[in-house]
Amino acid sequence: MTELPALPDTAARLIDAHIDALWLERGLSPHSLEAYRSDLQLLARWLAAQGGELLKARADQLLGYLGWRIEQGYKARSSARLLSCLRGFYRQALRDGRISEDPTLHIAMPKVGRPLPKALSEADVEALLAAPVLDELLGLRDRCMLEVLYATGLRVSELVGLRLDQLNLRQGVVRITGKGGKERLVPLGEEAMHWLEQYLQQGRAPLLAGQPSDVLFPSRQARQMTRQTFWHRIKLHAGVAGIDASLSPHGLRHAFATHLLNHGADLRVVQLLLGHSDLSTTQIYTHVARQRLRELHAQHHPRG
């Protein structure tokens, strides 16, 4: 990457104030806030190299910056996120009276193709669920985690972060706090309930080895597992199951949504279960399920 000057102090203070406002107004996650901070800091440094400043940036300068990013190897999706970040920054500056015109007003959002998630087949899921060795503590824990993940469609970060008080086996639901602090209740289903009960009776206490913790699925060190560790475990079990299909950390979440739609679930129900704030985010799964829908039509329609 091209060498840029250090971040000017004035820009640093502006960015800090904006990030604080985002946290207060929108409740964004620390990860999102740091991504926004990094985007604004890089822009401020690039502008400084051109003799410019954040609050004096013109539309042509911002377009020049977007072009520079492409030259540096940034992808269109990254540029789309950046432009969304810049719009928020300059709209706030306009509201606060720091600028008289929003320089992002007439800059079009880059077109970004949405990749279709690669869903596991139902047979692949069954093989993956059966892969952990159940007479090992970690195997029992992993089987339970995989069953819960497939039954609920949780994000991996939501799964590894589960606490005991989020689980209600009497009602058969798990309470999830998702993106933006939004809560949702997700049903577990009989199979996941069965494995949770077995794991809580036989596996969790030995894993904790007497150490106090409210983590539902502790690691070997009796701490909260990282997403990376769980991803490593999934790959391990996928190898045992002989799954050749491309597998991502969210593979079971994708499978959860696709298989529900394949079996006739309403798209809005799937949206609620996944915790999507916008139905358009959920609609991507209808493309994955379309082939299955064609097969069902051919099989059951009198003129199929």
CATH topology of domain 122-300: hpI Integrase; Chain A (1.10.443)
CATH superfamily membership of 9-95: Tyrosine recombinase, N-terminal domain (1.10.150.130)
Give residue 265's pLDDT.
61
Q: Where, residue-wise, is CATH 1.10.443.10 in the chain?
A: 122-300
Give residue 268's pLDDT.
64
92 token code pair: 């706030």
Q: What is the pLDDT of residues 123-156, one digit of tens each?
A: 888 888 899 999 999 999 999 998 998 888 888 8
| Helix, strand or coil, per DSSP, at residue 168 | strand
DSSP 209: T
Element (H, E) at 122: helix 122-129
Which of 220, 239, 202 is CA-nearest to residue 138?
Answer: 220
Which of 202, 201, 132, 204 is CA-nearest to residue 162?
Answer: 204
Could you list the pLDDT tens digit for every one of the 304 residues in the chain?
567 889 999 999 999 999 998 888 877 788 888 988 999 999 999 999 989 999 999 988 888 888 888 777 777 667 777 888 899 999 999 999 999 999 988 887 665 555 545 567 778 888 888 999 999 999 999 999 989 988 888 888 889 999 999 999 999 888 988 777 778 888 888 888 999 999 999 999 999 988 999 999 999 888 999 988 988 898 899 888 888 766 776 777 777 777 666 666 665 656 666 665 554 554 555 555 555 555 555 666 566 4
Q: Where, residue-wise, is CATH 1.10.150.130 in the chain?
A: 9-95
d(C-alpha 47, C-alpha 107), whole Å:
17
Positions marked active-site: 155, 179, 250, 253, 276, 285
- pTM higher than 0.75: no
Give residue 79's pLDDT.
74
